[in-house]
Amino acid sequence: MSRRDGDVVEVFAALGDRTRQDLLDLLARGQGSSSAALAEPLGVTRQAVEKHLRLLEQVGLVTARRDGRRVAWAVRPETVRRSAQWLEARSAEWERQLALVKAAAEKADGA
């Protein structure tokens, strides 16, 4: 399956899994960068971590740096930032719509 790098739909779909959320949190806090180091605090196998990391890499949330046989994983902040900006824009629009509904309700109560 081909995914667009950083597409918000794909990003949020990937983050619908708790293990992937936890992996992103661990990487963001600097608590390990290898799949083995990340597997231990999550209580899952290294193979399971690698599967989740590959999916996160496909949607642009993490990047892998290979050094021989070792792979170091890191968060891609630009994708996280774009996704957060998308949410903030939706939130601002929802707030604007709610303010209009509130104003209309208050006007109706006063009429």
Q: Using pLDDT thresholds of 50, 70 and 90, give the confidence band for residue 103.
A: confident
Is residue 3 situated within a structural domain?
no
Q: Which residue range(s) make up the domain with 103?
A: 8-110
What are 62-76's pLDDT values in tens digits? 999 998 989 999 999
**24 Cβ contact list (under 8 Å, min separation 6):** 15, 56, 61, 62, 75, 80
Helical (H) or strand (E) element with 63: strand 62-67
Is residue 1 situated within a structural domain?
no
Domain containing residue 42: CATH number: 1.10.10.10
Pick from 80, 26, 77, 83: which is nearest to 49 by CA? 26
Q: How many domains does the chain have?
A: 1
